Amino acid sequence: MSEPEVRIRDLRVVYGDGRSGVDALGPLDLDVMRGQFVSVVGPSGCGKSTLARVLVGLAEPSAGSVVLAANERGSAMPSAIVFQDHAIFPWKTVLQNIAFGLTVSGVDHAQANARARSWVHRMGLTGFEDSYPSALSGGMQQRVGVARALAVEPDVLVMDEPFGSLDALLRDVLIEELLGLHQDLRCTVVFITHSLEEALVLSDRVVVLSARPGRILADRAVPFPRPRTLEVRDDPDFGSLRQDLWHLLRSQVDVGRSADERAAG
Ligand SMILES: Nc1ncnc2c1ncn2[C@@H]1O[C@H](COP(=O)(O)OP(=O)(O)O)[C@@H](O)[C@H]1O
Ligand SMILES: [Mg+2]
């Protein structure tokens, strides 16, 4: 068995300190193997975004450890993240946004632009290279976000509810695109979502977190073969897996609510 690409041990994140500290996440143990696509689902506020931020180094563990094998290999770009709200720079053009991470990591200007252009084509943004994000639809903006993250060829791609603000039809289109990208690139993906359907269509595994502080309640293998399309939703096992996960999630929404009611006095 090879080394996991992501190894999380006894991870806890607490915001603030002392009596006023918010226990946001953990303790949590999770291994993700290289090339695996893992979704993390859980009730609102359970610490999913916190986990995403720790994975890419935007937040620190309060206890425990997060080890990316890519760091130990000395990889140029161990991880990159795609956020829900695009988080692309409004003052940069599409091409400049996609080239940004490359330039920052020291790739020279001409090469960064060439690589960014190939992602422009790949993500169906041809003709919009010099447009600013405000001139793009939500779906196109999110394609820019995905392209920017993938252009740096990260070993681990972290996506925090990337399609959460898109309408259902557009979300389906982007899900199919992501299936194709993962099929081609075989990168390791940690995909945060509140949609069980997204999780089941895309993933090799679905991890369910409890109400805050998020701990692992279930870790289910998703057995559908690849390459996959959205038609996997019609598989009878899809419905039963979704049902199983839905019951787990549902129980946590109630836990969260009664905790909030107690806190409210
Ligand atoms: N910077 C912060 N300071 C204090 N509390 C925070 C901060 N970020 C998140 N939290 C709290 O930590 C908990 C987990 O947040 P988050 O990771 O955003 O959850 P999720 O993404 O699952 O909705 C929530 O209760 C949230 O209010
Ligand atoms: Mg979140």
Q: Which atom of ligand 1 is nearest to the CA of 160?
A: 21
According to the model, what pLDDT value does residue 101 have?
A: 86
In this prediction, what percent of the chain has a pLDDT beyond 70? 95
Residue type at 236? P
β-pair type (37-41, 22-32): unpaired
Nearest CA to ligand 1 atom 26: 45
CA distance 171 to 115: 26
Q: Look at residues 217, 187, 220, 189 and name the one whose alpha carbon lies nearest to residue 202.
A: 189
According to the model, what pLDDT value does residue 254 have?
A: 74
Query: Helices (H), strands (E): how many in the chain?
Result: 8, 9
According to the model, what pLDDT value does residue 19 have?
A: 79
CB 98 within 8 A of CB 119: yes
Indicate if the pLDDT at residue 265 is higher than 60.
no
Q: Which atom of ligand 1 is nearest to the CA of 192?
A: 21
CB 151 within 8 A of CB 101: yes
- Closest ligand to the CA of 48: 1
Q: What is the mean pLDDT of residues 157-183?
A: 89
According to the model, what pLDDT value does residue 238 have?
A: 97
According to the model, what pLDDT value does residue 94 have?
A: 96
Tell me which of 157 and 261 has the higher pLDDT: 157
Ligand 1 contacts (CB < 6 A) are 15-16, 22, 24, 42, 44-50, 212
96 DSSP assignment: H
Nearest CA to ligand 1 atom 3: 15
According to the model, what pLDDT value does residue 252 have?
A: 87
Please report which confidence band the pLDDT of residue 250 belongs to, taking 50, 70 and 90 as the band edges: very high
According to the model, what pLDDT value does residue 264 have?
A: 63
Q: Look at residues 45, 65, 63 and name the one whose alpha carbon lies nearest to residue 55.
A: 65
Per-residue pLDDT tens for 197-212? Answer: 999 999 999 999 999 9
Give the predicted TM-score (pTM) of the model. 0.92
Please report which confidence band the pLDDT of residue 9 belongs to, taking 50, 70 and 90 as the band edges: very high
CA of 194 to the centre of ligand 2 (A): 9
CA of 47 to the centre of ligand 2 (A): 7
**Residue 11 β-bridge partners:** 28
- Closest ligand to the CA of 45: 1
According to the model, what pLDDT value does residue 59 have?
A: 95
Per-residue pLDDT tens for 41-87? Answer: 999 999 999 999 999 999 999 999 999 999 989 888 899 999 887 67
CA of 24 to the centre of ligand 1 (A): 6
Please report which confidence band the pLDDT of residue 249 belongs to, taking 50, 70 and 90 as the band edges: very high
How do the domains of the chain map onto residue ranges? 88-153
Nearest CA to ligand 1 atom 17: 47
Question: What is the pLDDT of the chain when averaged over all its residues?
Answer: 91
Indicate if the pLDDT at residue 259 is higher than 80.
no
According to the model, what pLDDT value does residue 260 have?
A: 65
**Mutational test site, ligand 1, from 14, 44, 49, max ligand atoms within 8 Å of CB:** 49
Nearest CA to ligand 1 atom 11: 24
3 DSSP assignment: P
Please report which confidence band the pLDDT of residue 36 belongs to, taking 50, 70 and 90 as the band edges: very high
Tell me which of 170 and 249 has the higher pLDDT: 249
According to the model, what pLDDT value does residue 263 have?
A: 66
CA distance 245 to 206: 9
Nearest CA to ligand 1 atom 4: 15
Q: Which atom of ligand 1 is nearest to the CA of 46?
A: 22
According to the model, what pLDDT value does residue 104 have?
A: 86
Residue 264 tokens read as: 């409210």
Rounded alpha-carbon distances, angstroms, from residue 194 to 46, 48, 185, 197: 11, 10, 25, 9
Nearest CA to ligand 1 atom 16: 47
Beta-carbon-side half-sphere exposure of residue 73 (alpha carbons within 13 Å): 16
Per-residue pLDDT tens for 156-169? Answer: 999 999 988 888 88
CB 39 within 8 A of CB 32: no
Rounded alpha-carbon distances, angstroms, from residue 41 to 13, 110, 139: 18, 40, 22
CA of 111 to the centre of ligand 2 (A): 34
Q: What is the mean pLDDT of residues 97-119?
A: 91
